[in-house]
Structure formats: C-alpha cells, structure tokens
Chain A
Amino acid sequence: MASLWTLSPLLSACLFWPACLALTPGAEPLHPQNLPSSLGLNSSDGSPSVDLPMALRVFSVDYHHVQAPFEIVLWIMLASLAKLGFHWSDAGYFLPGRLFFENLGTILWYAVLGTLWNVLGIGLSLYGVCLLAQSSLGDVSLLHCLLFGSLIAAVDPVAVLSVFHEMHVNEQLHILVFGESLLNDAVTVVLYKLFESFLRLPAVSGVDVFLGGCRVLLVGLGGLFVGLFFGLLAALTSRFTSRAQVIAPLFVFLYSYLSYLTSEMLHLSGIMAIVTCAVTMKQYVEANVSERSNTSIQYFLKMWSSVSETLIFIFLGVSTIQDVHMWSWPFVCSTLLLCLVWRASGVLLLTAVANKLRRNTVTFRDQFIIAYGGMRGAICFSLVFLIDDFPKKRLFITTTIVVILFTVFVQGMTIKPLVELLDVKRKKRGLNTVSEEIHSRLIDHLLAGIEDVVGYWGQHYWKDKFEQFNKKYLRRFLIRDDHQARSSILRVYQELERREQRGYEEATPPVVDPRSHSRPLLPEEMESIRRILSRNLQHFNNMQRPAYSRHTLHQDATMGRARKPLHRHQSLGERCTYNTQGEDGEFNGSRRGRAGLSRSHTVCSMSPRPVLQDASVPAASAQTRGRVDPDSEAFREEQISPEQHEAPAERAARKQLSFVLESEKQP
C-alpha cells in the first residue's frame, strides 16, 4: 500500500523533467517540416477526387498543423498527470504511521548518513577509477564524479515500493527501507544541487561545504513544514465539506499537489512535503469525510500510482533504445560494482551502530535485504538529464540507465526468491484481531505508565504526550464535531464487522474460525442492534451497514444537534477532570449513545463518589440520570426520549452491565 503512494509521485516527477527536456529540442525540427508536409499532403490528397479530399484535406491540415505541439502537450500532460499521481501516492496516506515513528530514528540514520556515505564513497571511488583509466575517462573531474555519485547513490522509493509491495516482508523491514528511500530525497536533492552549483563556481571553499550541510537540514525540515501546513489545511477544509461529500477527495489531491509545488518552488524537498502532507491529512480527513469519499480517495490513489509507474518505466524504456549512448566498460562496470559495495558496507556499519540504540535489533537477514533492496529508479534518471552539458554527459546517462535497469530488473526480480530463501520474517497477514488490538493497547498504556514511574522519557512518553496534544487541540479543531473520538479498538472492530458482513474470508482472523459455533452470535447481535435502530431511528436509511459505521452516523449527525463537546478523562477517581465529552454522535445512530451519554454523565456525576454500585439496575438508574443530566447540561438530543423507553428494557434484558464504575480510587 505504502508503496503505491510513493510510486506515483516519484514516477511522475521523474517523468516530467526529462519529458520536458527531451522533447523540447525535438519539437523544433518537427515544426517547420510539418507545414510543408501538410501542404504537400494537401495537394497529394487533393488529387484523387474533389469531395473527399475536401473533407480529408481539412482534417489532415488540422492534424498535422497541431501535431508537433500536440504531441508535446500530450507528453507534458501525461507527465504532469503522472506527476499529479505523485502526491496522490499513498505512501503517506497508507503509511503505517505508528511503525514509522517508532523507527524514525533508525530511518533518519539510514537516510541521512547512509546517503552521505554512499555519495561520498561512490563519488570518490569513481574518481579513482577515472584517474586509473586516464585514457578514456581523463576529463571527468572530481566534482563530476561527486555529482554523479549524488544522483546514483539515492535509493528510489518508487522502485523499492514496487518490488517490496509484492514481497510482504515483515513490517519493520518494509518501513525501514521505505522510510529511508523517502527521506533520503532531501539529502539527495541538496547534494545534487550543491555539487552542481559547485561546478559552476570557480572555486569551492570550506564555507560552501558547511553551508551545503545547513542546506540539507533546511531542505528537509522545510519540506516537512510545508507538508505539515498543507496537511493541516486540508484537514481543516475537510471538516467543512459535509455538504459536498463528492469534492472531498478532490481536496485531498489538490492539497497534496499544492504542497509539492510549493516546496519545489521554494527549492525544498518535494517528496518530504507530500509525504508529510499525506500523513498529516490522513488522520483527520479520514475521520471527517464519508466512507464513500474515503474509498474513492484510496482507489484513486492506487490507480494513479499504477498509471504513474507504468508511464515512468515506459519512458525509461523508450529513452533507453532511443538515445545515443556512450559506452565505457570500466566506468559502467565499476559504477555498478561500487553501488553494491558501498551500499552493503554502509548498511552494515550503520546498523551495527543503530542496533545498540534500538529496541528491536535489525537482523543480518534484514540487513541483507535492506542492502540488496536499495534500488535506483527514475529519480536518478531525471537528475542525470538535468546536468549541465559536458563532454561525458552521455556516458553518465548511459551508466545511469544501466544501473537503473540492473537494480530494478536483476535485483528486483531476484529479491523475492532471496527473501524466501533466507526465510526473512514475513508480514503478519490480515487484520489484527480485536483481542490483539485491545491487549496491545493495554500494554502501551502500561508501558507508558511504567516509563513515567521510572522517570524515563521513552517513546511511549512522547507518544502519549503527542496523543494528548492531538486529542486536546488538533482533533477538536480539525475534526468535525460529531466525528471526534474514534478509538482504534472500535475501528478495528468495525472493520472486522464490516468485512464479515461482506463475507470477506481473508479479513476474518483465523482465530475466530474454530469458534464458528459462537460466530452466529455476532450477526444475530447485529440483527438485534439493527432492530433497535430501525425502531428508533426514523431516518436510518442504510440497513446494510453495521449500525455504527461512520457513514450512517454521519447522516444523523447532520441533524444539527448543537452539542458542547465534552470530553471526559478517566482520571483517578478524585478528579472529574475535563468535562469535555467527545462526540458520541458516532454511535448515536445505533443506540443513540444514550447509553454512552448516560454513561458519561453517570461518570461525571459519579466520579467524585468512589463507587457506582448500581450494578443490578444500571440501565434504569442510568437512564433517569441520563435523561435529567442532558437537560441540565444543556444537551439537546433529539429522539433521545423514544429510545430511552426501549433501551432500558433491551439492555436489562440483554446484558449484564455490571460496570463497577471506578473502584479506581482505591479505598
């Protein structure tokens, strides 16, 4: 998934530059020829008959007249479209966010240092080769070699993704390679531009190098902030698109593209901008837009990724056979060899250091795959075209093409059998079961707590802090009121429910199958839930979906209830802290959250008191309290009364909610 995201952008980007360059020179010769040819065609067509040629003539003139520019435009359009596909890449959108941030340190380590290592290594070694082969390669200067090194050293996310996508290696490995390829864009771009500007300078001083270093930071961070900015903007926009669901996906795309363009305009890292934008957007947009919009966004992303990928490789192939090549055995072979060698050594060294600081070590097998999976792709290709012309430029182009083809085809094709041969740990298939989700969550909270006790500001601490900030400010601001607060546990549960309803086998965790005797319970429950809904909700229009799908609830939510967002914190019984209740409009669709509502009110009113003992009559008492409290708290909820009649009976009959509220405050 993540792969598709990066594929398209990169592909399109790469497509764009060479397309423009390669085709513009070609255009001119065509143009002057066209007119005479069209004229010629005119006359030749004109000869056979009178009527038809008239029609033909008109037709052919027009076509030939516009042919050249038309083709150019077509190419450019395709390229730009592919470029649009760029940020429509689902790299950011489908990025497994949590894993990414957990491994961020290592990823940055690889991306920045690894790329530097590779660039310098390859550049310097190539220069050595050039010195050795003075006869044929004598005029390639050090700077040129470094420049070449900078563009050839970068691992290409597109290529990586397209290959890794099929392999289903374990998530950590995937995210490492993928994250690295994304983030090294900043380094690559800067280094490339740096060396290029050095080439133009009469002399290079130490200050310039230092400034170059600062620039890497600036480019990377700048791209990040641009992406963040647009991501938040998009999230904000999506908050208000409730009336026009159809255009919501459009915003996703447009904002992504804008972020890319802006960062390119400012000479910042476009890839980083796009990925950041998508990552930021995802959380909030997903919550805000309807399910249909979400689906369309996802599918569109995938479609564009595929298209871009195809286009870019077509382009690559075409230029391979079309261009005039300059060949030099030593140069090409040594480049290939050096790429492999330097990458392998780089990975080994860096991992050795990184493993000391990481929780999960990167095994040797993983390291091998990381090194082997460092494929070069279309970005190198476009970069090499952009070099200022110098005698050996053709050589560089040829070498780049060879390297790309080699890494993508040879390495790409063999990596899969290698993965199987080496028995690299594979990805866990399928969705987390609800149990896993819940227990993992428990463990997360537990670990955060223990880290607090120990006074250790580990990743759980920061994650927690971020989550609190997120909940308190960002979500309140960026997510539509009635869509806030969606627990991931619930999401997993809903997703599983949804898939089961649709009968998708693969989504059903195998764990559940053996217990098929208990499975009928769920659809049955679903039925009873739906029955309640149909009875109580006059405008519950979508019967197929599980009761609490985002989409259906959204319909209810637009009924225009004004709710003061209240959010309750389950603190230690003593404090009934922030009384901000996130919208339980979510589930209002189903049981009107009167349960949730009453629950929250019960808690809010109860929390000062140690223990809620009405285990036996939770429903009734909660209901009465619930009914009273909403009014007192200025909570207007339509249709709450009809439901509340039904609900207690149902609830008391069905479930024993002996929810002993908060014996949290220890006696």
Chain B
Amino acid sequence: MGSRASTLLREEEIEEIKKETGFSHSQITRLYSRFTSLDKGENGTLSREDFQRIPELAINPLGDRIINAFFPEGEDQVNFRGFMRTLAHFRPIEDNEKSKNAAVSEPLNSRTNKLMFAFQLYDLDRDDKISRDELLQVLRMMVGVNISDEQLGSIADRTIQEADTNGDNSISFNEFIKVLEKVDVEQKMSIRFLH
C-alpha cells in the first residue's frame, strides 16, 4: 500500500466528500473501490481511456459526452473527488433533504443541478444555450441512422419551438427547465446507490 499512499482514502477525505456530495460512508467506500478498479494506471486518477474501457459505455449513444462530463474543463484526468462530485448529481433526493433550506449552497443533486447536468450534455460550447446544431448532433446520436436529415431537422425545429420563449431559436437553461417541468426529473435522474 506504500506506493499507493496517494490513493488511499483517508478519513478526512471521506468526511469532506460526504459533506460535499451527501453520500454515506459506505457508499463512498464502495464507489472508491469501483474507482480504483477502473483506474488501471493506478495513479489515483482516471483518464478518458479508463472510461472507454467500460464496455457498455462504449455502445451508449451518448457515451463520449457522458465521459466528458466527468472531466473538468480542459483537463484530462479526474481524481476521486471529481468523480464523486459528478456522481453526486445522481443521488436520489431524500425527503428530509427537501425540507432543509438552502443554508448550505444548493446540494449537487437538486433538481436544478440535475437539469443543469443534462443541459450540459447538449451544450458543448458552454454558451448556456442549446443551439439548433447542438440539438441536432445529440438527436442524431440518439435516434440513429434511419431518419433523414430533413426529418431530424424538423424534429429539432419543433423541439426548439416548443421550448423557445424569447425567440432566439435556441434553448436557454431556463427554457429547458420550463419544458421539463412536467417530467419527474428527480426520479428519473436518480440511481439507487447501494449501501
């Protein structure tokens, strides 16, 4: 364990992660073992290749973007903290948390943050708008090959129409939130992390 001292998970770190993400102790340790199993290079960080080695992720239409979401802007390695931070978005919202007021800054798994995560899957250039092209790209990825460009374009147009309130032909984050107000995002975007 000596050579991997940097990768040992210390109690203080666990506490910090717990505070930041809201995961429980056992969840954090379990996820840490998952992290280390993915970390083939054993340097305490994950690279994109490590993610791409996950077989099911490779065939996921949004695989690349999901992987990208783990890496902070411009970086190529993600450490355990960053890993947990990303995963924290998918923690189920517990009832007792709902009543907690935002004395702390909004928890990572709040509805808004979940939606922001999804929004950023579209918005590659981070201009806080989903342009028609960005929408088309994602649509094409999800829908596959059998739909023609024009048809896809129509669908994209319609999607934008449904959301766009200020007429700039793109979807801002607030418009995005509004469109999904009827969808139970808290439930859909939650994974039951085993204890």
Contact = CB atoms under 8 A, between A and B. Distances in A.
A245 interface: no
Of A522, A581, A591, A655, which is in contact with the most chain B CB atoms at under 10 Å from its CB? Answer: A655
B133 interface: yes
Contact of B142 (A438, A569, A572, A599): A438
Interface in B14-61: 31, 34, 37-38, 48, 51-52, 54, 56-61
A445 B117 CA distance: 13
A538 interface: no
A549 interface: no
B68 A587 contact: no
Contacts of B140: 570, 659
A659 B34 CA distance: 36
B145 A603 contact: yes
A517 to B, nearest CB: 9
Contact of B66 (A453, A515, A525): A453
Contact of A485 (B141, B146, B151, B187): B146
A654 B149 CA distance: 12
A630 B158 CA distance: 31
A595 B143 contact: no
Contacts of A422: none
Nearest to B157: A521
A600 B60 CA distance: 18
Of B154, B157, B164, which is in contact with the most chain A CB atoms at under 10 Å from its CB? Answer: B154
A452 B64 contact: no
Interface in A264-290: none
Nearest to A440: B183
A444 B138 CA distance: 13
B63 interface: yes
B75 interface: no
B137 A525 contact: no
A511 interface: yes
Contacts of B145: 485, 567-568, 570, 581-582, 584, 596, 599-600, 603
Interface residues of B, number: 71
A286 B169 CA distance: 35
A441 B184 CA distance: 13
Of B137, B162, B182, B193, which is in contact with the most chain A CB atoms at under 10 Å from its CB? Answer: B162
Nearest to B140: A659
Of A442, A511, A584, A599, which is in contact with the most chain B CB atoms at under 10 Å from its CB? Answer: A442
B162 A515 contact: yes
Interface string B143-166: 111111111011101110111110
B146 A450 contact: no
Given A453-B66, A454-B31, A582-B144, A445 B149 contact: no
Interface residues of A, number: 84
A458 interface: yes
Given A434-B155, A436-B179, A489-B139, A651 B149 contact: yes
A577 B136 CA distance: 22
A493 B158 contact: yes
Contacts of B154: 493, 522, 525, 529
Contacts of A586: 146-147
B190 to A, nearest CB: 6
A439 B52 CA distance: 24
Contact of A450 (B68, B87, B150, B155): B87
Given A451-B191, A454-B31, A666-B64, A490 B143 contact: yes
A512 interface: yes
Given A596-B147, A657-B153, A447 B34 contact: no
Given A447-B188, A453-B66, A522-B158, A587 B151 contact: yes
Contacts of B162: 433-435, 509, 511-512, 515
Nearest to A487: B143
B63 A359 contact: no
A665 B64 CA distance: 7
Contacts of A600: 145-146
22 contacts: A436-B183, A439-B118, A439-B176, A446-B117, A448-B60, A454-B34, A455-B34, A489-B139, A525-B154, A567-B145, A584-B146, A584-B148, A591-B148, A593-B146, A595-B149, A596-B145, A596-B149, A596-B151, A603-B145, A664-B64, A664-B141, A666-B64
Given A461-B56, A618-B149, 12 more contacts: A439-B180, A446-B66, A447-B90, A456-B191, A485-B146, A487-B144, A511-B179, A570-B140, A595-B150, A664-B63, A664-B64, A664-B141
Which 9 pairs show the lowest CB-CB distances between chains A and B?
A595-B148, A449-B66, A596-B148, A485-B146, A600-B145, A452-B56, A584-B146, A664-B64, A595-B149
Interface of A: 359-360, 428, 433-436, 438-456, 458, 461, 464, 468, 484-487, 489-490, 493, 496, 509, 511-512, 515, 518-519, 521-522, 525, 529, 548, 567-573, 577, 581-584, 586-587, 590-591, 593-596, 599-600, 603, 618, 651, 654-660, 664-666
